Amino acid sequence: MTTATEKEERGWQQILRENMMSPVDICRICGLADEELAKITALYPVKINRNLNNSSEAVMKQFLPSLFELNNTGEDDPLAEVKYEKVSGIIHRYPNRVLFLVTNICASYCRFCTRRRLVGKQAGLNDRKIAAGIKYIADHEEIDEVILSGGDPLILSDVKLKNILTALRAIPHIGPIRVSTRTPVALPERITGALIEMLQQFHPLYLITQINHPDELTAKSDAAIAGLVVHGISVLNQSVLLKGVNDQCEIMLRLVKKLIERRVRPYYLHQMDPARGTLHFRVPVKKGKEIITYLRENIGGYAVPYYVFDDPQQKAKTLLYP
């Protein structure tokens, strides 16, 4: 007999498999010819949840492919992660913490993704490589924090995610665990009761969302976020500054107000990483500073994110504006 938990898990997995926009629909919306879309997808896979189809232009712009992506400017690995990869999936750049890339799959693929060289092109780490990553962390006592990322870690099944978290929590020198995810807005059905109950077992644990525009906060995403925060899971948000999406002072103010209302802390505003084929989304630093100044003048300091640039040559994020 199928349990309610199993039904929940099958439900979001079915959406992930079956509720994706077709190439025909994507071409119709974008005004692309079939061969143009084929050129883009040959370089960077395209995947858009049909639920996003009724979203605003600013939301859709984050997911719809563009011929600008064929521009060869930018870098394949803008954060030099290959340089800092110690074993498969373990990026050890900062002294006390590691990035653990546990999958290359997401609910939908953002067109400005830093790891677009990897995302959607393979499933990610098998059990053997996951075990090797956990061993690396266990063997390095200077590591006291782990950030699960990818891809999107919440695309993993509850069982696989629980196995990873259990192994990490068993390491005595590991404190906070962060889980980076877009699912509260890209696939809110993933935030099931069973997932929330499981995550509660691994505190201190923080969920790091990426919500870039106030229109991404819908009734479904609100329910997903409420389920997390009501059950004691802290949610922080890291937005990416994107041209034509959130590079206006008023839009960013609306976003941080909505986040605070939902008990989500606006943590970072990222200057977008210069990944290849994404530079049409880049916003001048001057504009980013203008937005932060506006926020500081119009909302309490607790709601103003840090404006940061991720410089692979540094051992800490570069603060562009306090």
Task: Give the 3-state DSSP-derived string for the chain, with helices as H, strands as E and coil as C.
Answer: CCCHHHHHHHHHHHHHHHCECCHHHHHHHHCCCHHHHHHHHHHCCCCCEHHHHHCCHHHHCCCCCCHHHHCCCCECCCCCHHHHEEECCEECCCCCEEEEECECCCCCCCCCCCCCCCCCCCCECCHHHHHHHHHHHHHCCCCCEEEEECCCHHHCCHHHHHHHHHHHHCCCCCCCEEEEECHHHHCHHHCCHHHHHHHHHHCCEEEEECCCCHHHCCHHHHHHHHHHHHCCCEEEEEEEECCCCCCCHHHHHHHHHHHHHCCCEEEEEEECCCECCCHHHCCCHHHHHHHHHHHHHHCCHHHCCEEEECCCCCCCCEEEEC
- Neighbouring CB atoms inside 10 A of 142's CB total 9
pLDDT at position 51 is 83
pLDDT confidence of 2, banded at 50, 70, 90? low
Mean pLDDT of the 273-277 span: 97
pLDDT at position 314 is 76
- The set of residues, in sequence order, having a beta carbon less than 8 Å from that of 30 and lying 6+ positions away, is 37, 64, 65, 66
- Cα of 51 vs its chain's centroid, Å: 18
Q: What is the pLDDT of residues 15-73, one digit of tens each?
A: 988 999 999 999 999 999 999 999 999 999 999 998 887 789 999 999 999 999 999 99
Q: What is the pLDDT of residues 99-149, one digit of tens each?
A: 999 999 999 999 999 999 999 987 678 999 999 999 999 999 999 999 999
- The set of residues, in sequence order, having a beta carbon less than 8 Å from that of 209 and lying 6+ positions away, is 181, 182, 184, 185, 225, 235, 236, 237, 238, 264
pLDDT higher than threshold 60 for residue 1: no
pLDDT confidence of 8, banded at 50, 70, 90? confident
Let me know: does 64 contact 109? Beta carbons within 8 Å. no
Q: What is the pLDDT of residues 154-184, one digit of tens each?
A: 999 999 999 999 999 999 999 999 999 999 9
pLDDT higher than threshold 80 for residue 224: yes
Amino acid identity for residue 216 in this structure: E
Name residue 240's beta-bridge partners.
Answer: 270
Q: What is the pLDDT of residues 277-320, one digit of tens each?
A: 999 999 999 999 999 999 999 999 999 999 999 888 777 778 87
pLDDT at position 320 is 78
- Distance, in Å, from the CA atom of 121 to the CA atom of 103, rounded to the nearest integer, reads 10
Catalytic center residues: 93-94, 97, 106, 110, 113, 115, 273, 310, 317
Q: Which of 119-128, 186-195, 225-234 has the lowest mean pLDDT?
A: 119-128
pLDDT at position 122 is 74
The share of the chain scoring above pLDDT 90, in percent, equals 87
- Give the residue with greater pLDDT, 74 vs 5: 74
- Cα of 268 vs its chain's centroid, Å: 13
pLDDT at position 104 is 95
- In whole numbers, what is the pLDDT of the chain averaged over residues? 94
Give CA angle at 177 (156, 230), nearest 5°: 80
Beta strands 90-91 and 97-101 are antiparallel
- The set of residues, in sequence order, having a beta carbon less than 8 Å from that of 19 and lying 6+ positions away, is 49, 50, 51
**Domain coordinates in residue numbering, the chain:** 69-321
CATH number for the region 69-321 comes to: 3.20.20.70
